Amino acid sequence: MLFSSMIFLWLFLPAVLIISRFLKLRQQNVFLLLSSLLFYAWGEPRYVLLMLVSIVLNWGTGVLLERFPERKKAVLWIGVVLNLSLLGYFKYLGLLVRTLNHLLRGRELEIPQIALPIGISFFTFQALSYVIDVYRGECRAQKNVMDLALYISFFPQLIAGPIVKYRDVNDQIRNRVITPEKTAQGIRRFIYGLAKKVLISNVLAQSADQIYALDMQEMTGALAWMAAILYTFQIYYDFSGYSDMAIGLGKMFGFTFNENFNYPYMSLSIREFWRRWHISLSTWFREYVYIPLGGNRRRTARTYVNLGIVFLLTGIWHGASYNFIFWGLYHGAFSILERLGFGKFLEKHKVTSFLYTFLVVHFGWILFRIESMRQIWEFGKRILLPWRYTASHFSVWEFVNLHTIFILVCAVLGMGALQKLTAEKLEKWKLSIPELVYCAALLLLCISALAGNTYNPFIYFRF
């Protein structure tokens, strides 16, 4: 079930929100858990069992970690291996078999056709953070399996994050306070996220998908540049819009989730970009992989190796395809380059650093968007040498109209610069009568767009 679907907006959300208001906190938790399982089962009923297995597995691991402190390292490793085994089987077994087939050459194994459970990467990482934090003593094991189940399966951040650490919401599960002010803030945030998704990302996605679907022989340099630019803003407004909706939904039910985006396209380095983009994932890898590996506390060469491992895993986390691996290593290479000294140059040249960062990220999304390495090569040539590729039966204006250009301009204006210039006015604007009217107009536009168009993809569902 999509947050930007009519059934969610008109049926599921109003029903859950209204009914929950009449329940006491403990009853509300049970109701939210059942609602979350229904939300997940709506798209894939058979994988609710997988979700329940994950819940019981991690609840049991937490209990055992406290019951047998002398063997907690062994218990931790068993819990981590079992979690990663579930994730590996459903998400990476096909990639493993394809890789083996490349290596065997002639003795091909049958590639398993396993449907990917929606959001498995997100809820697995949440479960892992709980188990690791209990092992470290940063939180107590949850004795009530229902409370842990709510943490792992809570529908606002179940499908595509943000990845929430258990220690950040443990107290909220038992002691949260729901106020009219927090509910209003949640509704406001949800509407802005919905507008990002429906009014900006969906519009850009339609044109981007049509251009990317062209045969490469018909792809001119101009078409390649337009597709890449559209996708750069599509993925930002798609994912950040979803995160805004998740954070807003959390507030409606009394939960406060950490921010997941902070205007990443305003970054002045790739290292800064990863402090602003998908913050919950980058902090997860920093806390549970980079620092345990030694971080930057050891020799310089080891620091670079640690960074390489983290970015390799970041790429693998995103998908079971070689292009994601190269995308992760691509970002890792630039992060290491900046640590080698290039970062000092960037600090002295703000305009250059902005252009450099935006272009590196922009080109990186080509690796992210296209799975075939051969197509990436051909597409890349059209990006770097556009004057050599001008012959086609199609022009840019067959895929892009004035409405698309207008939305693209809005997307550029909304990526951070305008917000920084008007920060004081925006604070006064929050929850004012004019903003209430503005949000109502945005919601009406979103409903109209959804009613008149069935095109409503979401990029991060496949992760």
Nearest to 231 by CA among 247, 215, 213, 248: 213
The residue count for the chain? 463
Residue 254 CA to residue 106 CA, distance in Å, equals: 58
> Using an 8 Å Cβ cutoff, are 197 and 360 in contact?
no
Residue 171 CA to residue 46 CA, distance in Å, equals: 31
24 alpha-carbon distance from chain centroid? 32
One-letter amino acid for residue 279 of the chain: I
Query: Which residues are designated catalytic?
Result: 318
Query: DSSP for 209-253?
Result: HHHHTS-GGG--HHHHHHHHHHHHHHHHHHHHHHHHHHHHHHHHT
> Using an 8 Å Cβ cutoff, are 97 and 107 in contact?
no
> Using an 8 Å Cβ cutoff, are 450 and 4 in contact?
yes
Is the peptide bond between 162 and the residue preceding it cis, with omega within 30 degrees of 0?
yes
Q: In this structure, what token pair is assigned to residue 26?
A: 């403990």
Residue 296 CA to residue 317 CA, distance in Å, equals: 23
The angle, 0 to 180 degrees and rounded to 10, between the axes of the packed helices 433-452 and 180-195 is 50
Per-residue H/E/C for 147-161? HHHHHHHCHHHHCCC
Nearest to 138 by CA among 288, 26, 298, 289: 288
Residue 303 CA to residue 248 CA, distance in Å, equals: 37
Residues 391, 393, 395, 396, CA torsion sign: negative
Q: In this structure, what token pair is assigned to residue 183?
A: 């509910």
Nearest to 267 by CA among 360, 199, 184, 153: 360
Cα–Cα distances in Å, from 305 out to 285, 290, 312, 336, 375?
Answer: 14, 10, 10, 9, 30
